[in-house]
A and B are shown apart, each in its own frame.
Chain A
Amino acid sequence: MRRTLAALLAALPLLSAACRFDQGHFTMLSDFPVQAVDLPEDEIDRLPYVEASDIVPFIVVLPIGERPSVERALQNALLGTNGDVLVDVTVEKEWFWIPFVYGWQGYHIRGKPVKVLHAPDRPRTRRSRLLQEHR
C-alpha cells in the first residue's frame, strides 16, 4: 500500500503540465483615462521594456485568493517605474498544473512604461487611487 502511494506521488510531477500562450498585442493599455501621450514617438522607441505577472495558485481546482487579471499585471509592471501606462504591450496567459493537486495560473505582461496627460474629469481606477492615497 505504501509502495503504491509512493509510486503515485512520484508519478505526479510526470503528470504536470505547463504552458504560456499569447493573449494579444496592444498599442497601449491603461487602467485610467488618458488624454494624450507625453513623449514623442522616437523617445518612446528608446524606452526599455518592463515585465510583470499576476499569478494565483490553486489547490485541487480552487484558486487561493482573487482570480488573476490583466489589470493587476499591468499595475505590477508599472510599480517602481515613472510611467502611467504601458505602450507596445504583449499579454500572455501562463499556467502550471499537477492534475487535481496543485497549480497556478496568471497573466504575464510586457511593455514600455510611458507618462501621459491625465483626464481629470473622469474617475480613476484602483492603482491611481492607491497611488494618490500613498502620496
Chain B
Amino acid sequence: MLVLGAMLAGCRTTEMQLSLVVPATVDLSRVSLDRIGEGVTVEGEDAASFVLLLPLNVLNMEDAIQDAIGGRDDVVLVDVVIERVFWWTVLYGEARLELRGVMVPLPGAPGVEGTP
C-alpha cells in the first residue's frame, strides 16, 4: 500500500473555457440572448474509472453539460469552464470532467431557480 501510495499521481487541467455553449438539444433559431448573463451558476460532471491503463468508460463533455442543465432544451450556458481532474496509482485510477457555468434561460423559457 505504501508503494502504491508513493506511485500516486494526480492533476487538474482546464480543458475548455468558453463564453457560450449552446447544447445540442437547443434549436439555433432560439438563440437570441438580449439579457445574456442573467442566470444561475450550475455545476455538472462526468466521471470514469480505469484499471491498469484501460478505461472502463470514456469521459464526455456533452454528458457533463447535460448533467449541469438537467437535460433542459430551453437554456444555454455562459462563462463555461470544464476542468479534468485525474488521479492514478498504476492499478486503478479515476478521471472526472467538472463543469462550472451560468445557466441562462432562452426567451420564452421559464426562469431558472435563483434567477433574479
Contact = CB atoms under 8 A, between A and B. Distances in A.
Interface of A: 21-37, 41, 44, 67-71, 74, 85, 87-88, 91, 107, 119, 122, 125
Contacts, number: 100
A28 to B, nearest CB: 4
Contact of B36 (A26, A68, A122): A122
Nearest to A27: B22
B114 to A, nearest CB: 20
B58 A21 contact: yes
A28 B20 contact: yes
A65 to B, nearest CB: 13
B-side interface size class: 20 to 34
B17 to A, nearest CB: 5
Contact of A26 (B14, B24, B29): B24
* Majority-rule SS of B interface residues: mixed
B37 interface: yes
B37 to A, nearest CB: 7
24 contacts: A24-B24, A24-B60, A25-B24, A26-B21, A26-B22, A28-B20, A28-B28, A29-B18, A30-B18, A30-B20, A30-B21, A33-B33, A35-B32, A36-B33, A67-B14, A68-B15, A69-B14, A69-B17, A70-B61, A71-B17, A119-B36, A122-B36, A122-B37, A125-B19
Contacts of B44: none
A74 B24 CA distance: 17
Nearest to A25: B24
A78 to B, nearest CB: 12
Contacts of B59: 23
B19 A27 contact: no
A132 to B, nearest CB: 15
Nearest to A114: B28
